[in-house]
Amino acid sequence: MTETNPLVLIIDDEEAMRDSCSQILLKDHYAVETAKDGATGIQLIRALHPALVIVDLKMPGMSGFEVLENLPGLDPHIVAVVITGYATVDSAVEAMKRGAHDFLPKPFTPEALRIIIARGLERRRLILEAEALRKEKQLLEENFITMVSHQLRSPLVAIQQYFEVMLAGLEGATDDRMKEMIRKANERLDSLLRLINEWLDLARIGQGRFVGTFQLLDVRKILNRLVEFLTPSARENNISLEWAGSSGPAVELMGDEQGLEQVFSNLINNALRYNKPRGSVRINLREEANFAVVEVQDTGIGIAPEHLPLIFEQFFRVGRPGDKAPKGSGLGLSIAKKLVEAHHGRIEVRSELGVGTSFIVRLPKAASGGTPA
């Protein structure tokens, strides 16, 4: 953070003063620039960004006080030292009030100048250091969840990678019984990874401030990508995934891409999971007035009427018939609801036991450019 050969700018109308200060400072290996009046000084500050500026208070035209007042707008980290010809305490105090770091009464010795400049630059170093720390802290805060997530995931992923090596028999033969155990261990790790993600998502959305990046998005595109991504797993489970809206005009809204992907992937995954063998999941996108409406409909087991009011609650889980215990964290739908609400939308559910369930998400569209609001 220490600047090598920091630049010092001297603003003084007296040529003799500019020259003598320059000589002293150049000998101490500072870089030096000079200005003969306030206006020139400000131009040089703007162009050269000096670390420190020495300003004479009493100059014709723009006074030293006026230069001081301009400094925060030019460079918030610049350090100013004033020179006062009339060594009154009053003008020095006034200068400090207007942001000067220190003052030097005329006449002064080279030693006094050196000490004051060194002190001023030390202050500048501290200011810059504090600024860098503040920026780093801000970056950490903004990306805290991403980093926590990364650190929790890394060891689990490394374990899974070793498992992949063993399953592929790359370090000697692995018999079927061992492979089966490795697969089970892998499944547990997968669900732990999912749980970590869901907890962190909830932390991210739950603090009342959703830190998403809102931008203009096409819902159709998001659904296209999701369907492509989820089709293999639907096929594996013998469920037909039907999406009739793959081509068509863009349905645009302001949203957080990752957040919306998560909402729809959660709904579609649930629909695939809580379905009947050879069942189907139908996805539909339509526009109603100022809303984009996405419906995810399954031919699954349905939700009992007494459970319906509870499904968006945290940790509420319904087991599938045949499961020994309910799987999942019970956080998925609660996260989806919070995300939809962060987009000023609504999520609804309709269900009939044994027939199927449909989730309807309504999101306000972006105001169209063509029609006046």
Question: What φ, ψ does residue 305 adopt, rounded to 5°?
Answer: -55, -35
- The number of CA neighbours under 13 Å toward the Cβ of 368 is 9
Does the footprint of another protein cover residue 24 (CB under 8 A)?
A: no
Decide if residue 261 touches another protein (CB under 8 A): yes
Count of C-beta atoms within a 10 Å radius of residue 286: 11
Residue with tokens 């020139």: 40
- Largest separation between any pair of C-alpha atoms in the chain: 97
For strands 7-11 and 52-56, give the pairing.
Answer: parallel
CB of 40 or CB of 233, closer to another protein? 233
Q: Is 226 among the residues that bind another protein (CB under 8 A)?
A: yes
> Which residues lie below 8 Å from residue 320, measured CB to CB, with a gap of 6+?
273, 274, 301, 326, 327
Separation between Cα atoms, residue 234 and residue 273, nearest integer Å: 9
Which of 22, 174, 265, 284 lies at the binding interface for another protein (CB under 8 A)? 265
Distance CA 333, CA 315 (A): 10
197 forms part of the interface with another protein (CB under 8 A): yes
The correct pick among 2, 5, 146, 246 for binding another protein (CB under 8 A) is 146
> Does 225 engage in binding with another protein (CB under 8 A)?
yes
Side chain identity at 303, as an amino acid letter?
Answer: I
Cβ distance 91 to 45 under 8 Å?
A: no
Count of residues that bind another protein according to CB under 8 A: 35
Supply 26's token pair: 């150049």
- The dihedral formed by the CA atoms of 360, 364, 370 and 372, expressed in degrees to the nearest 10: 130
Minimum gap (Å) between residue 262 Cβ and another protein: 4
Stretch that binds another protein, among 27-35, 154-162, 287-295, 349-357 (CB under 8 A): 154-162
CB of 327 to another protein, least distance (A): 17
Q: How big is the chain, counted in residues?
A: 373
Adjacency order of strands within the sheet including 7-11: 31-35, 7-11, 52-56, 79-84, 102-105
Q: Which of residues 309-368 bind another protein (CB under 8 A)?
A: none
Quick note: the x/- pattern for another protein over 87-126, rule CB under 8 A, is ----------------------------------------
Q: Which is nearer to another protein, 78 or 285 (CB)?
A: 285
The answer to whether the CB of 50 falls within 8 A of the CB of 78 is yes
Nearest to another protein of 15, 187 (CB atom): 187
201 binds another protein, rule: CB under 8 A: yes
135 binds another protein (CB under 8 A): no
**CB under 8 A: which stretch of 34-42, 57-65, 141-149, 362-370 binds another protein?**
141-149
- Is residue 133 a contact residue for another protein (CB under 8 A)? no
Using CB under 8 A, which residues numbered 158 to 177 contact another protein? 158-165, 168, 170-171
Which residues contact another protein by CB under 8 A?
A: 143, 145-147, 149-150, 153-154, 157-165, 168, 170-171, 193, 197-198, 200-201, 204, 225-226, 229, 258-259, 261-262, 265-266
